[in-house]
Amino acid sequence: MKKTLITLLLIGSVIGCKNANNQQGTENSVEETSVIQSSENITDSIQVKTIQVGSEGEEIKNRFHGSYPNTVYDFINKEEEKFIQTYYDEFKEVSKNHGEDAVSRVSFGQHFEVVEQSNRFLGFLIERYTSYGNNYDVQYFTHIYDLESKQLIKFSDLFSSENEFKNVVKLIRNKTEVVLKDQLKTMDLIEDDRKAMWSNMQEQIEEGTAADEKNYHAFSWDDSGNLTIYFDKYQVASGNFGNIEVTLTPEEYKNFVLNKYQELFHIKIEEAVTSEEDDLTQTTPIESEVDCGEVPCVALTFDDGPSVYTNQLLDILKENDAKATFFVLGKSAKVQKNTLLRTFQEGHQIGNHSWEHKDLKKLSKADIETQINETNQTIKSITGKAPNVLRPPYGSFNNLVKEVANMPIILWNLDPLDWKDRDATLVAQRMSEAQPNGIVLAHDIHKSTVEAMPKVISALKKKGYHLVTIDELFAGKSLNSGQTYNKRK
């Protein structure tokens, strides 16, 4: 709820000093410049780390600006550090041989995007922009990590066998030829030259698309399972063809993909969700027998997920026969469909916590609508049921938010500050102080919070509380759109 983007600038420090190092000559030109390392949280489990040499303001300097992910997984961090280090070493090597005139100035850049984040996989699309004066090159790399086997998945690993990989490669080669032929047609050439050019290109296409790992270091996929392969410049054709990419539809390649990776490409999940649709009436939470007008209840609520820790929390709730309410972010629900569906099927309530945790009070009416409605639609497409309650991020709202929300606004009367104090014992103590018929705020994006839960549940049960959802807490009372609630009165 109160998650803030923490910017930890300058975790590293300025290494090297211009004046001192200038006297050492040009043996290692990188150390003449300041190297700045910084890091910034993008989610609770992923940080962006940056190595920077030279800055935009400085003219005629060789520059390096490389960002890479740092996660809660050591094996991923090792791979990513190795990966950026190789690029940085290349930069140092190249810098040595380049002068500082504008034409031959070197600029290396790397940044990344999180393309997959689920309980099973974590994936990054990495872009490198390498420029030598007036000549530049863009390269992409896809790093998908299997969190179970703790390995970086190579492209060929995705397929059932070497043979299936070769089948996919054949498909890719055919598509590449179509793309290149189309481009060739638009070029201003006489027919004979066109034919000669095409025949000259054959070898490069063959080599550039061959079933070799180095040819398939970049790929991405969309929500419908369309798979795109990105080739480097010069990989399958001469430079004037630019960066070539080809796309396969899921129908074309899905039979070659290993079962365990079907989920990754969104091939299987969609089917699973659809097939559940018939059974939704059965999995819809059963009417509670608990009457919070008669017995003391407590509604535990978890914000900002689903996250990598949500499944562990669901296990704990299940073991203890406790129900809770999850105020989820639309963007996280979208990538963690299975976790969201499980949450719903196990009888917990799903509430709306906006699409991406923006302060709704600061947004325009249209933007508030997008934040709330997109989230509702996404949740409905996964569970079959749209949320009926909203918790605005930071508990921040105004009249416009109330009006647009068109849902009751659920706040809390106990905040254990679990986002601030990542200490399971402390968080457990605080949450155990819940009042009869109160609402407790917590976050399932923090490991410590999830670890606190067995103690919390046992302490509250000892006090005679029933752990219920928001709907159960207010059963028999009316919850009105646009009104705020922090406990059952």
Q: Where along the sequence are the contacts to Ni ion (CB under 5 A)?
A: 1, 303-304, 393
Which DSSP category does 119 fall into? S
Residue with Cβ nearer Ni ion (44 or 303): 303
Shortest distance, position 29 Cβ to Ni ion, whole Å: 46
Alpha helices in 363-442 (DSSP H): 365-383, 399-405, 424-431
Give the catalytic positions in this structure.
303, 443
Eight-class DSSP state of 291 = -
- Distance, in Å, from the CA atom of 176 to the CA atom of 247, rounded to the nearest integer, reads 9
Which candidate, 166, 184, 180, 174, places its Cα nearest to that of 236?
180
Q: What is the nearest approach in angstroms of Ni ion to the Cβ of residue 168?
A: 42
CA 96, CA 28: separation in Å to the nearest integer? Answer: 7
Q: How many CB atoms lie within 10 A of CB 96?
A: 14
Q: From the CB of 440, what's the least distance to Ni ion, in Å?
A: 14
From CA 461, how far away is CA 300, in angstroms rounded? 13
The residues, any chain, with a CB within 8 Å of residue 476's CB and separated by 6 or more, are: 291, 292, 293
User: Measured between alpha carbons, how far apart are the two ends of the chain, in Å?
Assistant: 23
Nearer to Ni ion, 198 or 394 (CB): 394
The torsion region of residue 92 among left (phi > 0), alpha (psi -120 to 50) and beta comes to: alpha
Q: Between 304 and 444, whose beta carbon lies closer to Ni ion? A: 304
Q: Are 69 and 48 in contact (CB under 8 A)?
A: yes
State whether residue 111 is helix, strand or coil. strand
Cα–Cα distance measured from residue 190 to residue 288, given in angstroms and rounded to the nearest whole number: 78
Closer Cβ to Ni ion, 1 or 269, answer by number: 1
Closest approach, Cβ 327 to Ni ion, in A, equals 7
Would you give the DSSP letter of residue 171?
A: H
Instruction: Name the token pair of 469.
Output: 């959802």
CB of 6 to Ni ion, least distance (A): 14
Q: Whole-angstrom Cα distance, residue 99 to residue 209? A: 36
Closest to Ni ion by CB, 172 vs 453, is 453
Q: Tell me how far apart the alpha carbons of residues 65 and 15 are, in angstroms, rounded to a whole number.
A: 15
Q: How far is the CB of 101 from Ni ion (least distance, A)?
A: 51
- Taking the complex as a whole, how short is the minimal distance between the CB of residue 488 and Ni ion, in angstroms? 22
CA distance 324 to 302: 8
Instruction: Give the residue with the Cβ less far from Ni ion, 269 or 452.
Output: 452
Nearer to Ni ion, 1 or 340 (CB): 1
Cβ nearer to Ni ion, comparing 205 with 427: 427
Contacts of 273 (CB under 8 A, 6+ apart): 337, 341, 381, 382
Give the 3-state secondary structure of residue 424.
Answer: helix
Amino acid making up residue 429: Q
Q: How far apart are CB 359 and Ni ion at their closest, in Å?
A: 10
Q: Of 228, 268, 225, which Cα lies nearest the Cα of 250?
A: 225
Which residue's beta carbon is nearest to the bound Ni ion?
1
